[in-house]
Amino acid sequence: MMGRSPWRVNSTQPDLHGRVALVTGANSGLGFEAALGLAHRGAKLILPVRNPEKGQNALNRLRADCARADVTLLPLNLASLRSVAECARAVGALTDRIDIQINNAGVMAPTRRMETEDGFELQLGVNHLGHFALSAHLRPLLEAAEGGGVLVTVASLAAGKNTIHFNDLQFRHRYSPFGAYQQSKLANLLFAQELARKAGERGWNIHSRAAHPGWAATSIVANGQASTLPKPLGLIEQTLGTAILRVMGQSAAKGAEPLLYAALAPQARDGDYYGPQGTGERRGPPGPAIVPPTARKASLAARLWDVSERLTNTAW
């Protein structure tokens, strides 16, 4: 029986009063639980959300659980580089620094190929490119944090199942729902590691780390594959998927612990990867995660970085 994790969501330590934290995708699942964990510790929250109604519901739930929560909602559609730039400007009008940023929002395995406003395959566009651009825009605020802002990028166990298909990055020729998802999550992990390398080499005042939740029972199944199926099939897919995650994995609150660990633990190191410590890294308290072989290729990360800068028209 594993002991109680000190990185549970409702802990009040470490004290984050006076710190500013930004979490994407905080209207549900991992993002909500991570935001709740930061709120309980006293951080001032900035939550960019795509759906205003869901954002308001999340805000109400946050304040019901943590009455003192200091939260500002902002609009953000990661499937639009225009929206990303507008959100970054709005963040800059709210604060002069970001102490903690968690790039969490994502979409998983829609059954048919979909595109962002800018013509990117949806999963690569939202999970990686949207966050890449947002983080580039927010870099001055991260660097303005005392001691350097901490940027946590949420990857997945799926990151070790594929590679980056530079010959068909947008999956235009042969779309695979989970293949595209795996590529996008590997991109997340490669980005976190390359940012840590560049920050170290160039003296940027940023701490970049990656984390994954194991198998966490969140709404990502409902928002991804299930949402693109006919309604009866979608409900079945959603029910079965969530049930499997609950039985073999862990709750969204437990899944958020590696994210909080990566952001806050004194022993967390730049460029490292964190996840559950149980069998197969599917569940359990947080700690170091295994970096899949493909994600250890610095040349792959550097090439992806260059391609991402070009596609998003951003320069770090």
Q: Where would I find the H helices in 50-176?
A: 52-65, 81-94, 122-123, 131-143
Torsion of CA 98, 71, 219, 109, to 10 degrees: -40
Whole-Å CA distances, 130 to 88, 92, 257: 12, 18, 24
DSSP classification of residue 121: B
What span, in angstroms and rounded, lies between the C-alpha atoms of 205 and 43?
20
What span, in angstroms and rounded, lies between the C-alpha atoms of 171 and 174?
6
**How are beta strands 273-276 and 206-211 bridged, if at all?**
parallel
Phi, psi of 217 (to 5 degrees): -80, 90
Residues 6+ apart with CB under 8 A from 266: none
What span, in angstroms and rounded, lies between the C-alpha atoms of 212 and 286?
9
H or E element that contains 48: strand 44-49
Catalytic residue among 181, 261, 273, 274: 181
Query: Would residue 181 show up in a list of annotated catalytic residues for this protein?
Result: yes
> What would the DSSP string read from start to end of 158-225?
GGGS----GGGTT--SS--HHHHHHHHHHHHHHHHHHHHHHHHHHT-SEEEEEE--SSEE-THHHHTT
Q: Which of 153, 128, 135, 178 is nearest to 31 (CA)?
A: 153
3-state SS class at 269: coil
Q: Which residues are catalytic?
A: 181
